[in-house]
Amino acid sequence: MINISLPDGSVRSFERPVTGAELAAGIGAGLAKAALAIKVDGEMRDLARPIDKDARVAIVTAKDPDALELLRHDAAHVLAQAVQELYPGTQITFGPATESGFYYDFARAEPFTPEDFEKIEKRMAEIVDRDLPIEREVWDRARLKKHFLEHGETFKAEWSDELPAGEEITVYRQGTWLDMCKGPHLPSTGKLGKAFKLMRVSGAYWRGDARNAQLQRVYGTAFFDRKQLDAYLTQLEEAERRDHRKIGKEMGLFHQQEEAAGMVFWHPKGWTLWRVLEDYLRRRLDEAGYLEVKTPQLVDRRLWEASGHWAKFRENMYLSENEEGLRAFMDNQAQRIFALKPMNCPCHVQIFNQGLKSYRDLPLRLAEFGSCHRFEPSGALHGIMRVRNFTQDDAHIFCTEDQIKDETIRFCELLRRVYGDMGFPDFFVKFSDRPPVRVGSDDVWDQAENALKEASLAAGLQYQINPGEGAFYGPKLEFVLRDAIGRDWQCGTLQVDFQVPGLLGANYVAEDSSRRTPVMLHRAIFGSFERFIGILIEHYVGRFPLWMSPTQAVVCTIVNDADAYAGEVASALAAAGLRVETDRRNEKINYKVREHSLAKTPALIAVGKRDVENRTVAIRRLGSEKQETLALDEAVHRLLEEARPPR
């Protein structure tokens, strides 16, 4: 007998192997109709795959969190079939589902156009209407390569040669079209529905190598119904309106240029915003018992080798031997290789290692606004959201294993307070466990993961498992914000590290006088200043709260006779601690209002001849047509109270 345990706790027994489709039908006709796939002991499988041994099985429907990825994977295959039907001779390569949709890479001499997209989408809809069964087949390597060569699929034939020996090779067929794929897939093309849209095309290289053939990557997205698709497209339109690059230019915050690709030129207003955030966070860290440090930018490779980072990050490090700007530094040390630090943790261990530490010194919380460099691929760069030079609000807590719980609770309280002050009261948490490539034994990983889970529960966190995405040295919590238009941004992290301190010789004297290795908690709240500022710009559409705004008020003259008084008003505001500018240009007040509104100035203060006589000002708030006339002293008091940073 084959015993199948269902999520509701019931068990169904069968005398022979049973498919997921048969299992769903046995439970009910409604479930059979809604079924898309099955999970067998947590592994997603096709509905037609037989279950031939005792297992825990769940029927996957459109309501399952993993179902959207399944749908989008099918959309990629239907896209590829449509393209090859419309444009014979086009070769297929790879086509996965992604976080926001799917893509497929094609080898085609002619570029795809918007008109092509219309034809392709129409043909995709026709393939859906055909309701072709999607069938899984197991092939041997020789048959697979022969098929692809006969059909002119040289890229696929090349890839078939590199599949690991002994690995089961599966092919998915829909009608006469097929592709090599691990699956799983929907039962038929009809299950895909028509809530899909092709979005754009970009260049890509075969196997991601610029030395190989260039391909065309067609991106699309898909949902289970048109309402979800329309909501997503509306969100994209809103995201375009909020694009931090566009708003950053309008507000004069920063710019970027090719001579420093992946770096940021901060303008005075942008740097003011940075300093406001840094001052705020530094105050919070001081209150929470952190000690601020500063570590070198350039560190000998031997430290990175000892910590394990060299093997992990070597390809993304800037090395002194390859950088013209650092050659002078190396004149007297030609045999040594230095690297610009891609992270701060090994350097913080060096500070911990200075002088003998006792258990009484723990926990020791070291914080740094650390400037790091990583050589990100040019295609991954995106405004200030993804850069090559960034500043982390980094900190490392050296503690005993018994202190992990309390330190996690303290950190989560700090993080909640900061996110609330920044305008993000809601966030969710992912628990990222051990990755395939890691350092340390499974026993130590068990210890670290259990400690972090217990601490998370003690801190009142509910989390979802993010399998295999932990750091190479330990598991981590990822804190994900949700912005004003519903997008998710992973920012904060808390990582439990039982590995790196020992690799770098860190120890302390325990209560029993023995030498022990401290646990190191890696933690960040913003993640990086650059990315967090980009998120803030888009969240607020540049309309920052008054305390955060780079320029809090602009005093605008209505007539030239008010020039001197405007200077007096600005001086009074500045003396109170407000960030203020004056605009005495010989322009109409409506022109000034439009210009400063575009620059997202929160408070516009107009002064005219009557204001000079009465020592009053007229305050207009950003986005409002109304204005309020106040005595100068009252206006200064109100703005000052409103502009106080969160306490």
Place of tokens 């307070």: 417
- pLDDT at 162 (0 to 100): 85
- Mean pLDDT of all residues in 114-121: 94
Q: What is the mean pLDDT of residues 393-407?
A: 96
Residue 524's φ and ψ, nearest 5 degrees, are -145, 155
DSSP, residue by residue, 296-356: -SEEEHHHHHHHTHHHHHGGGPPBGGG-GGGTGGGTT-TT--EEE-S-SHHHHHHHHTSS-
**What mean pLDDT do residues 141-146 have?**
92
Region 258-297+341-537: CATH code: 3.30.930.10
* Residue 345 counted as an annotated binding residue: yes
How far is residue 389's CA from residue 174's CA, in Å, rounded to a whole number? Answer: 47
CA distance 619 to 553: 9
Return the CATH number of the domain spanning residue range 78-237: 3.30.980.10
pLDDT band at 437 (very low <50, low <70, confident <90, very high): confident
Q: Is the pLDDT of residue 335 over 80?
A: no
Provide the token pair at 483.
């912005």
Long-range contacts of 262-265 (CB under 8 A, 24+ apart): 262/376, 262/378, 262/381, 262/386, 262/387, 262/388, 262/389, 263/387, 263/388, 263/389, 264/384, 264/387, 264/389, 264/530
Q: What would the pLDDT profile of 274-293 be if each residue is shown by its tens digit?
A: 999 999 999 999 999 999 99
Confidence grade of residue 55 (pLDDT, cut at 50, 70, 90)? very high
According to the model, what pLDDT value does residue 125 have?
A: 97
Residue 147 annotated as lining a ligand binding site:
no
Q: Which position has the higher pLDDT, 565 or 209? A: 565
CB 103 within 8 A of CB 95: yes
8 Å CB contact between 168 and 138: yes
What's the pLDDT score for residue 210? 84
Cα–Cα distance between 553 and 549 in angstroms, integer? 9
Distance CA 11, CA 17 (A): 15
**pLDDT, mean of residues 203-218:** 91
| Mean pLDDT of the residues in the chain | 93
User: Is pLDDT above 80 for 527?
Assistant: yes
Tens digits of per-residue pLDDT, 350-387? 999 999 999 999 999 999 999 999 998 887 899 999 99
Tell me how far the alpha carbon of residue 544 is from its chain's centroid: 22
- Say whether pLDDT at 332 is over 80: no
What pLDDT is recorded for position 244?
A: 96
Q: What is the rounded CA–CA span in Å between residue 199 and residue 197? A: 6
**325 or 230, higher pLDDT:** 230
Q: How many CA atoms lie within 13 A of 21 on its CB side?
A: 8
CATH hierarchy code of domain 553-642: 3.40.50.800
Distances (CA, A) of 174 to 20, 131, 536: 19, 9, 45
- Judge whether 73 is annotated as a binding position: no
Sheet hosting strand 427-432, strand order edge to edge: 291-292, 364-373, 389-399, 519-524, 488-497, 476-482, 427-432, 463-466
Q: What is the pLDDT of residue 312?
A: 84
Q: Domain spans of the chain? A: 2-60, 78-237, 258-297+341-537, 553-642
pLDDT at 323 over 90: no
Q: What is the pLDDT of residue 320?
A: 79
pLDDT given for residue 520 in this prediction: 96
Confidence at residue 92, expressed as pLDDT on a 0 to 100 scale? 95
What's the rounded Cα separation, in Å, for the pair 640 and 328?
A: 50
- SS3 of 193-220: the string is CCCEEEEEEEEEEHHHCCCCCEEEEEEE
Contact 346, 498 (CB under 8 A): no
Instruction: Report pLDDT for 325.
Output: 43
Structure confidence at residue 331 (pLDDT): 54
Which of 276, 278, 254 has its CA nearest to residue 548?
Answer: 276
Position 337 confidence tier, pLDDT thresholds 50, 70, 90: confident
Biggest CA–CA distance in the chain, Å, is 98
pLDDT for res 324 = 46
Q: Where do we find the tokens 């350092």?
A: 439
The secondary structure of 97-161 as a DSSP string is B-SSSEEEEEE-SSPP-HHHHHHHHHHHHHHHHHT-BEEEEEE-HHHHHHHHHHTT-HHHHHHHH
Asked if 308 and 331 count as a contact pair (C-beta separation under 8 A), the reply is: no
| Catalytically annotated residues | 345, 374, 392, 394, 396, 476, 522
Q: Which residue has tokens 């992973």?
A: 490
Q: Which CATH code for domain 2-60? A: 3.10.20.30
Q: Examine the pLDDT at 396 and tell me if it is beyond 80.
A: yes
What are the structure tokens assigned to 561, written together? Answer: 């006779």
